[in-house]
A and B are shown apart, each in its own frame.
Chain A
Amino acid sequence: MSAATETALGLTESKGIGARIAKLVIYSGLFVVFAGPLLALLVSSFNHISDPTQLSVVPKTPTLDNFRIAFDHGVLKYLLNSFFVVGFGLLLQVAVSVLAGYALARKVFPLMTVVLVAILATMMLPEEILALPLTLVLGDLPLVHLNLMGTLAGMIVPLGAWAFSILVMTEFMKDVPRELEEAARIDGAGELRIFAQIILPLCKPALGVIGVFGFTMIWDQYLLPLLVATNSDSYTLPLALRTLRIDPVVTPGVVMAASLLALLPSVIVFLLFQRSFARGLTAGALKG
């Protein structure tokens, strides 16, 4: 097979000085368009200049002032709130998903299809559309009559129900060979033991996928915290960015500094777990 037939354009394999220059131009163009704005954000958060028009990719007078001022405005508290929400939210979401995935993948029971369809249907139900009634539910949970408005718990509990990760877990758990489970059963392992020591350890790649996706999804949450937070004490960092910007004494450099803190965790998680990420994208989109 000749090299030029490897890809649709045959671009990456083409040699010669003209092709090289063309490639260089195309790829640096891509880099500028997609990574450039983020680079500008990074540089501006360390820049001493406060003028919004001076957002630039050239470091001028590096300083940590922007971060100092941001911390004076409570950014540390908002960051901790965010970490709290993402930590417990992810824990809850993963726990709920592996349990539900186990039942849906490894058991047969009446009404199983109904449950599966109901969970799948929520994927077609964007949380934005539920915003108004959700505030009422969170203000007075049916049966238990708890008021979660204004609490971090109110931002965490609804995150537990995410059809995507249940689906990924179910698909993955289906592929674990039946013989393993039967062997364990014959050796006297109970249901919990089979779940925790046989099935779950074999699903580590899927755990990676739902962990990474859950993290980015929760870290990106905006509407839910906006609905639940009744005062700035329970703001997450993304919410606080708007308050910071509206504050007349705060300069854009400070907003960029806080923004940098708000984007770093998800970027770091993405860079560390790129493989899981790519797997999840195809699992979520192409299997549907």
Chain B
Amino acid sequence: MSVSEAPAATVEPPPAEQPGRGQWWSPVRRTGNRRAPGRAAGQRSRQGGKWWVPWLFLAPALILFTYFKFIPMGRALVMSAQDVRPYLGNTWVGTANYSEILGSESFRSALKNTVVLAIGQTFGSMLLGFCLALLVEGQTRKLSFIRSAAFLPVVVPMAVVAELWRIMYHPTSDGLLNQVIGLVGLGPSGFINDPDTSLASIAVTGIWRGAPYDMMIFLAGLAGIDRGLYEAATVDGASTRQRILHVTLPGLRPVFAILFVLAAVRGFRSFTEVFLLTNGGPNGSTEVVMTLIYKLGLEQNRLGVGSAGAVLLFLATLVLTVCVQLLRRRRTA
């Protein structure tokens, strides 16, 4: 699985790296004077025996990760404990930003909305994705067409999804979705314009885009279930419901755990759809942590308080991930 470098360095012949000096697979050794002291040292370093070769390959990644992940993370932590004043110098304020944001009514309501939205989207997408996967499981060509069509929302950019649904959510009775629900005698609904339905409407958009993704992963999981178990269950006289309950669901347990983490993290960080559909309105009914952070940081220039919010969101994501991983580990152990 991994190279042991020491023997390679001693056995290796000189390289024929210069262009035009023959091909590397040529069985003919190009040079015989491999013990010539002056050349050997330089050649060996080119051959990967040296300690810095892996670091050279890693350098671009490490530089970019440092600049755009680790430094910003460090900055966020530092700023969250500072009163950030451009051109005036930052002052250390300790936990004041945290207590301010935790104490503010708008943050608490945004946190509530975020959690509600994340839970709604997570379970909605998983449930719908699971049902979809069961329905389109199989090998026929017709099904692969349906699967591709159902998967399309996932690859459509979120900005387009939001603009499309904005128009579909048109609040008067001749809006597209109002016409649809009018067919069964409902509505017209205000959808994203009504504080009572706005958050649910955003969740529906998120489920529409998230469910096909979950469906694909469930399908991959379903493919890994032993067909013989279905057969055995059928021979034993199990109904379809019992088959799903006792064969399919247990077989998919690891898939559920992974999807839960992915979907929940996706829900916690949701920004684009909220920003474009409602931007927090009406009346703050759809304000989520990310839109609040964006407003605090970039519109009100309160970078310290915004960073404190970001750090809290990060911790929530981290705790959730670790908890689910631990649960999973214990179950499989």
- Which residues of A pack against B, CB within 8 Å? 1-2, 4-13, 26-27, 30-31, 33-35, 37-38, 40-41, 44, 52-53, 55-56, 95-97, 99-100, 102-104, 106-110, 112, 115, 118-119, 122, 124-126, 128-137, 141-142, 157-158, 160-161, 166, 174, 178, 181-182, 184-195, 197, 216, 219-220, 222-223, 227, 238-239, 241-242, 245, 252, 255-256, 259, 262-263, 266-267, 269-271, 274, 278, 281-282, 285-286, 288
A237 to chain B, nearest CB (A): 8
B206 at the interface (CB under 8 A from A): no
Question: If the complex has contacts A100-B60, A141-B67, A281-B216, are A38 and B156 also in contact, measured as CB distance less than 8 A?
Answer: yes
A21 to chain B, nearest CB (A): 15
Residue of B15, B29, B150 near A34 (CB, 8 A) is B150
Which residues of the other chain, A, contact B213 by a CB distance below 8 angstroms?
A: 281
Contact B73 A34 (CB under 8 A): no
Whole-angstrom CA separation of A129 from B290 in the bound complex: 8
Q: List 6 A-B contacts (CB under 8 A).
A: A55-B176, A137-B68, A142-B71, A189-B16, A222-B272, A242-B276
Which residues of the other chain, A, contact B255 by a CB distance below 8 angstroms?
A: 285-286
B93 at the interface (CB under 8 A from A): no
Most buried by B among A102, A128, A133, A188: A188
Whole-angstrom CA separation of A203 from B41 in the bound complex: 32
Contact B64 A161 (CB under 8 A): yes
Which residues of the other chain, A, contact B136 by a CB distance below 8 angstroms?
A: 27, 30
Contact A132 B79 (CB under 8 A): yes
Contact A96 B64 (CB under 8 A): yes
Contact A125 B73 (CB under 8 A): yes
A196 to chain B, nearest CB (A): 11
Contact B76 A129 (CB under 8 A): yes
Closest residue of chain A to B18 (Cβ to Cβ) is A190
Within 8 A of A (CB), among B274-333: 275-276, 290, 293-294, 297-298, 303, 306-307, 310-311, 313-314, 317-318, 321
- Which residues of B pack against A, CB within 8 Å? 1-5, 8, 11-17, 24-27, 29-30, 46-48, 51, 53-55, 57-58, 60-62, 64-65, 67-73, 75-76, 79, 132, 134-140, 142-143, 146, 148-153, 155-160, 163-168, 170, 172, 174-176, 208, 212-213, 216-217, 220-222, 225, 227-228, 230-231, 234, 240, 243-244, 247-248, 254-255, 258-259, 262, 265, 268-269, 271-272, 275-276, 290, 293-294, 297-298, 303, 306-307, 310-311, 313-314, 317-318, 321
Which residues of the other chain, A, contact B5 by a CB distance below 8 angstroms?
A: 107-108
A14 to chain B, nearest CB (A): 11
Which residues of the other chain, B, contact A53 by a CB distance below 8 angstroms?
A: 170, 172, 174-176
Question: If the complex has contacts A129-B269, A222-B272, are A5 and B231 also in contact, measured as CB distance less than 8 A?
Answer: yes
Residue of A96, A129, A186 near B13 (CB, 8 A) is A186
Whole-angstrom CA separation of A23 from B17 in the bound complex: 62
Closest residue of chain A to B262 (Cβ to Cβ) is A285
Whole-angstrom CA separation of A129 from B77 in the bound complex: 11
Question: If the complex has contacts A37-B168, A100-B57, A288-B258, are A222 and B4 also in contact, measured as CB distance less than 8 A?
Answer: no
Contact A96 B61 (CB under 8 A): yes
A69 to chain B, nearest CB (A): 16
A95 to chain B, nearest CB (A): 7
Residue of B143, B148, B150, B225 near A12 (CB, 8 A) is B143
A50 to chain B, nearest CB (A): 12
Residue of A55, A104, A197, A269 near B58 (CB, 8 A) is A104
A229 to chain B, nearest CB (A): 12
Contact A189 B64 (CB under 8 A): no
A214 to chain B, nearest CB (A): 13
Contact A31 B149 (CB under 8 A): yes
Contact B24 A187 (CB under 8 A): yes
Contact B2 A166 (CB under 8 A): no
Contact A129 B310 (CB under 8 A): yes
Question: If the complex has contacts A263-B156, A282-B220, are A108 and B57 also in contact, measured as CB distance less than 8 A?
Answer: no
A232 to chain B, nearest CB (A): 15
B131 to chain A, nearest CB (A): 10
Whole-angstrom CA separation of A99 from B54 in the bound complex: 9
Whole-angstrom CA separation of A2 from B233 in the bound complex: 12
Which residues of the other chain, A, contact B155 by a CB distance below 8 angstroms?
A: 216, 263, 266-267, 269-270
Contact B13 A188 (CB under 8 A): yes
Residue of A2, A5, A186 near B12 (CB, 8 A) is A186
Whole-angstrom CA separation of A183 from B294 in the bound complex: 55
